Structure 1
């Protein structure tokens, strides 16, 4: 079995979770990590068993042994760093939000295609086995004809610089709201006819609480609420004319509970045992590489671009423009 050498571009909190994940994946070799501060990269490598540490992204990307680069820098830098990887001939797994805006996303996708290189968005919700099970249950008619979806997600993030700083493409929208938006997209599809939304701002000028309603061409509706000011129950509820299902933890589904129309629990589906959940996006990227594909079926390029355009439109309606745009 080939072991894929993965390199990390960025050594922050999310990278630590991914490092802990791949340490338990026999298909993956923790090969290299780069940070702008070499001492930070060296400490990260020592803590997580990486073979090499670099104080320069460019220096790391010159290494010919790298099979895949995982990017976990702030949203504001995804375009620059992903393009740097592609220019060095590297395949890319880039954290969500894929870029700061759709224009950047389109440029990356176009260039990656021209170079015949894999690039995919690491929005883990899309890759989860239980996420796929939700659609199977709906298609089987377990709750009847589905018409309405609600979802919430919230974490205390006002102490996180990249979330509070507009220069880093901060705000709830790109960091948190992207999850319920993807959740709705996975269940109801892309045919949105109307978007209405509002937000509450922080003192730094980024959105702190978002309320987004998506109406669909076939009459369905998704009502989504997010916040960086408090922790919520992270539930998604999908309503049909014969019952409803409750999805526990929409960004990393842990359990799906099915209720009849008279509110009696009739079935429960548990997520399979996992490392952290991050392993699924890595496995999908490896599978795409082995099959010579340039994108992952779980999060195809057209979906990444569509969601980025949706986020752009919502931001524009709020009057938010990042300083670097």
Structure 2
């Protein structure tokens, strides 16, 4: 069990590097949607090679497709919705809420999926220790992410500017959608994990999810931007600008492995801890051309509480 928790943590750390990589790419191609599409394409190619190496095939048989419920193929759709929504939420409710609300949705839905065994997941009862651990973990997330952002004047002013003069009902609607996006992300991990179990191939399940997501995000990008990146823009990229898809594909591949072994809730929580640690280090050292921001004691305290929360969750 410890090995699956560890690889989920590492995968979350890798995923935290995807956002600044894609953000730098979006500056070059002048569109976060085009950058996201490029990232999905690279991730799909990476997972295609991985699937072929592991199982010798990419797509399941028509017999398998006909015998499975439709919801088993929704992982890619939910991934595309998650990516698109995060881009939109950032512009609608600012950086702090765009980070916090989906996390709350993920933790809540991951726990519910485990409690009731939804989406093919193994049932994991909600014990007092587990409930206490989840509360402690959420508090740790708030301290590690929300508190430093709230004390950062530039971030506060940016977020106020995004919500200023907008109808309160509209802002609340986007806030609710932020939580829903997190719920969908948790569902995606559970669905992909179950698909991997049914196919007996983590590589193939990961590829299928990314492949579907790539098609959908490409359609959205063409509808919104109505253009492709230019040759000049692509030539201006640096080699690491193309790593985003590899990082996202690796994260998805690991979750497909981990969810059937340790449950959706714990996989999500370990991934989130990895993402928080990774994000802090990215900002501390200014990796991938990101803005440097020194680590503060609150972030260390928050990470500590998150780890305590996971420890309490495992006291079954």
- The TM-score normalised by the length of structure 1 is 0.28
Considering fraction of residues, name the structure with more strand: 1
Considering fraction of residues, name the structure with more helix: 2
